[in-house]
Amino acid sequence: MSNTTEKCLVLKQSEISALKKLIMYIKFSCEEAESLLYAGSPLINNIFDKLLEIDDFKAESKYFYKQENVTNQQFIRKKIQKDQDETLNKADEKLILELFKACLHPFSSSKDV
């Protein structure tokens, strides 16, 4: 089995919306620090990007996600801080910034952590 072989999947618009909502929940509503594993996952971010490309509301969604979302930024910062408070293996600032940006995806941020 090749990890680079692309597969096809046919989805209804309602299924696309449901998957996008699930990903947004994991990123910006789930308070469990363990959810950072999924919230910052490059694979899940890629799936989200692919869902955007086939979404009937692609243009509107892309415009929306280009905006800075301060509420989501604060939520991600809080979740990362909670994770750092609960772990013995503290991450350095560079790694925390990378995690922050990955978790914030697809929203943009003009500011650092």
Residue type, 15: E
**Residue 108 pairs with which residues in a beta bridge?**
68
* CA 25, 108, 98, 70 torsion-angle sign: negative
d(CA 9, CA 69): 31
Tokens of 101: 């940006």
Report pTM: 0.88
Say yes or no to pLDDT of 113 above 60: no
Q: What is the pLDDT of residues 2-43, one digit of tens each?
A: 678 889 999 999 999 999 999 999 999 999 989 999 999 999
Every domain of the chain and the residues it spans: 13-104
Q: Are 106 and 45 in contact (CB under 8 A)?
A: yes
pLDDT at 1: 62
